[in-house]
Amino acid sequence: MHVPVQAIDRETWRDGLASKGTRLIPEETPLALTYNGGTYAVMMGTPQNLEDFAVGFSLSEGIVKSADDIRSLEVVRLDDGIELRMWLAAEDAARIGERRRHVAGPTGCGICGIESIAEAVRPAAVVPHGQTFTPEQIMAAMQAIAPLQSINLQTRAVHAAAFWSPAGHIVGLREDVGRHNALDKLAGALARGRTDTRGGMVLLTSRVSVEMVQKAAAIGAPVMVAVSAPTALAVRTAEAAGITLIAIARQDGFEIFTHGGRIVARHATEVADVA
């Protein structure tokens, strides 16, 4: 049964007393991504927004350049998992034939099955300069995520990736037990909705690894903000990609690791508007 949340019986021991009841916990399901009949990867993930995941994964992996390159997409629910069947043009299918992984990826695995170091640390796409943002906008954007996390409100056990638009609100949010999956789902939703990402921010409820930077760069957003710290390689990758990397974002502030010129105090933007 492929639903995102399950009610599970459990026993609680607290303050010396035992009690029984149920708890809502997120589901975890094998997700097979296939192209033109061949399996490329099997990931563990939350069985929700699977069309978005298939498109976003294909884009972030460089399998396709546009969502339109996927000629057809079918979600096939099997007894022991879900198959995301995609069909590409013959030339695109031939290009990925040599990269086919045939591996199972653990939950949230971002680069499992990659066969060379060069592939794992490939340069991220360089993003456009984009507009400037105020600290108040960044903190308001991050605070807006929690109420929109429907699965996490029930389980407290999944990651989220969201996109904040220059209009001042979140235009897309996706959840998954895997942080990489959540970001791929967001990428797919933005691509399918033809959202202009050049002036917005990618928001993450997880830490920032190099794969997360690579995926955010593929989305094209100039700024990414996360609640946890980045790795050193993620910082170097964001610097090279032209991404403003903000992490350890809390209600009272955040830390800027790269390209801080995009973050401007409110009074500075007001002066610029007057001028």
Place of tokens 């029984």: 20
Tokens found for residue 100: 């086919």
Helix (H, G, I), strand (E, B) or coil at 17: strand
What is the Cα–Cα distance from 106 to 85, expressed in whole angstroms? 20
3-class DSSP assignment, residue 36: coil
Give the β-pairing of 17-26 and 5-14.
antiparallel
Dist. CA 265–CA 110, nearest whole Å: 35
Catalytic residue among 54, 109, 219, 225, which? 109
Distance of CA 177 to the CA centre of its chain: 11
Give the H/E segment covering residue 73: strand 70-78
Q: Which CA distances in Å does 77 have to 48, 81, 133?
A: 12, 6, 43
3-state secondary structure of 158: coil
DSSP state of 55: H
| Catalytic residue list contains 112 | no
Active site residues: 109
